[in-house]
């Protein structure tokens, strides 16, 4: 090849690489700046920001919306967190479904859809995650950002060699300084994810939260799955709820929060506040390492032949068949578990009741689909639209 031809080849390759980088950069930019328009449901009495409770969050990427539904009647206060790990979509979807449809007869409920927004602005490098997923509704489809388990490196850098949880001193993996379920109870002078945990602790204390629920999903290879993880203060609530749900709706277990395992919400919220802290885990085959093609279909339908084969080989902690674990079933489990837990809490604590009504049942969500219960922003005044 002549020098002139070689030079032309190099220029062509450079132009191709530049075009790919520009196109990719545009995709990343659009994903990070995509806004999820969400209707504050008819029962929402006010919407605050996390910075209203902790000034350290003012102007930060994680100054998230807090939807408040106050019955105006005496009772307890519940805080529900969706979006701790944005790669687990049943969490933010269940929180949105409850926020848009619930009515309460007593007490107050506070709901967060994207509790770690930063982690929803990036997908996992090297895992071929889809950038978005779409939920079919009666009025079209609603588009959501797909996210990661960890806050974006654009918002939290650099990671330490080893993450030392504060104040326990427990050593964790370096990237867990960006894992919102490893940074509790947080640090006011820490990195963004630690600050977010500290801000939520301030919210919990200022609002005198009685019961705290953190939504999650887990791979079927993970032993803590299809369960309610409970701080010892909430073991009676979790045990009764597990028993009742298993007898009437679906099988769900109960696990004790290990006292020596620090950084997790079910441990630290209970230790550092007066609230009873619980965490729900539903099955999500999309997260399994033995999965096949990592796409939107797997994320929403929860069907995968390779995960099924792993189950046949006895390598899983939850069952899976050709029906998979559809997003409607996973959201239905979160909502039904919340209803049962708050009913049980109210039965056990009649002076601090939090009574929810008007929510669709487990069977109804599975039959009609989660999209049937999402509110259409076009039907509401723009003052009722909030962006996540």
pLDDT digits (tens, 9 = 90+) for 160-204: 999 999 999 999 999 999 999 999 999 999 999 999 999 999 999
What is the predicted pLDDT for the residue at 3?
81
Instruction: State the Cα–Cα distance between residues 232 and 159, nearest whole angstrom.
Output: 32
Q: Pick the residue with more confidence: 126 or 98?
A: 98
What is this structure's pTM? 0.96
Averaged pLDDT of the chain: 97
Q: Average the pLDDT over 307-324 and give the result.
A: 97
Q: How far apart are CA 369 and CA 255, in angstroms?
A: 29
CATH number corresponding to 38-387: 3.40.630
pLDDT digits 0-9 by tens, 250-291: 999 999 999 999 999 999 999 999 999 999 999 999 999 999
Contact 357, 104 (CB under 8 A): yes
First to last CA, the chain: 55
Contacts of residue 266, defined as CB under 8 A and 6 or more positions apart, other chains included, come to: 214, 229, 230, 231, 257, 277, 278, 279
Match 């190099």 to its residue by tokens. Answer: 10
**Token pair for 93:** 């979807």
pLDDT digit string, tens, across residues 122-162? 999 889 999 999 999 999 999 999 999 999 999 999 999 99
Q: How do the domains of the chain map onto residue ranges?
A: 1-33, 38-387
How far lies 146's CA from each of 3, 128, 143, 325, in Å?
47, 11, 10, 18
| Distance, CA of 179 to CA of 183 (rounded, Å) | 7
d(CA 231, CA 341) in angstroms, rounded, equals 14
Give the per-residue pLDDT at 240.
98
What is the C-alpha separation between 183 and 197, in angstroms, rounded?
6
Q: Is the pLDDT of residue 205 over 80?
A: yes
The Cα–Cα gap between 295 and 302 comes to 10
In this prediction, residues 65-70 reach a mean pLDDT of 98
Q: Are 195 and 178 in contact (CB under 8 A)?
A: no
CB 49 within 8 A of CB 57: yes
- The phi, psi pair for 279, rounded to 5°, reads -135, 135
- pLDDT tier at 4 (50, 70, 90 boundaries)? confident
In this prediction, residues 309-334 reach a mean pLDDT of: 98
Using a 10 angstrom Cβ sphere, with 0-12 exposed, 13-18 middle and 19 or more buried, the burial of residue 292 is middle
Are 345 and 276 in contact by the 8 Å Cβ rule? The answer is yes
Given the DSSP bridges, would you call strands 211-218 and 276-283 parallel, antiparallel or unpaired? Answer: parallel
Mean pLDDT of the 116-125 span: 96
């Amino acid at each position: 090849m002549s020098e002139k031809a070689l030079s032309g080849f190099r220029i062509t390759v450079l132009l191709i690489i530049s075009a790919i980088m520009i196109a990719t950069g545009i995709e990343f930019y659009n994903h990070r700046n995509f806004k999820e328009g969400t209707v504050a449901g008819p029962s929402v009495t006010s919407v605050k920001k996390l910075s209203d409770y902790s000034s350290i969050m003012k102007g930060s990427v994680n100054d998230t919306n807090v939807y408040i539904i106050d019955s105006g009647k005496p009772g307890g206060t519940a805080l529900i967190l969706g979006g701790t790990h944005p790669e687990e979509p049943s969490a933010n979807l269940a929180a949105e479904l409850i926020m848009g449809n619930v009515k309460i007869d007593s007490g107050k409920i506070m709901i967060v859809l994207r509790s770690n927004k930063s982690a929803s602005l990036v997908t996992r490098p090297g895992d071929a995650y889809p950038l978005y997923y779409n939920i079919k509704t009666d009025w079209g489809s609603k588009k959501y950002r797909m996210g990661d388990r960890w806050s974006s490196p654009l918002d939290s850098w650099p990671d330490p060699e080893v993450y030392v949880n504060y104040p326990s001193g427990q050593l964790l993996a370096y990237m867990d300084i960006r894992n919102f379920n490893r940074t509790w109870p947080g640090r006011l002078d820490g990195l963004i994810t630690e600050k977010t945990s500290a801000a939520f602790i301030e919210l919990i204390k200022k609002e005198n939260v009685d019961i705290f629920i953190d939504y999650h999903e887990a791979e079927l290879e993970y032993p803590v799955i299809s369960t309610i993880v409970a701080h010892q203060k909430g073991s009676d609530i979790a045990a009764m709820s597990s028993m009742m749900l298993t007898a009437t709706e679906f099988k769900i277990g109960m696990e004790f929060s290990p006292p020596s395992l620090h950084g997790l919400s079910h441990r630290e919220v209970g230790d550092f506040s007066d609230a009873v802290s619980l965490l729900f885990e539903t099955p999500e085959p999309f997260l399994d390492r033995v999965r096949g093609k990592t796409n939107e279909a797997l994320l929403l339908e929860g069907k995968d032949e390779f995960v099924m084969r792993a189950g046949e080989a006895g390598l899983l902690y939850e069952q899976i068949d050709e029906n998979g674990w559809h997003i409607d079933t996973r959201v239905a489990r979160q909502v039904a578990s919340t209803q049962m837990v708050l009913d049980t809490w109210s039965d056990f604590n009649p002076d601090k009741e939090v009574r929810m009504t008007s929510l669709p049942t487990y069977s109804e969500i599975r039959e009609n689909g989660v999209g049937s219960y999402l509110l259409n922003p076009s039907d509401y005044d723009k003052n009722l639209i909030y962006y996540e």
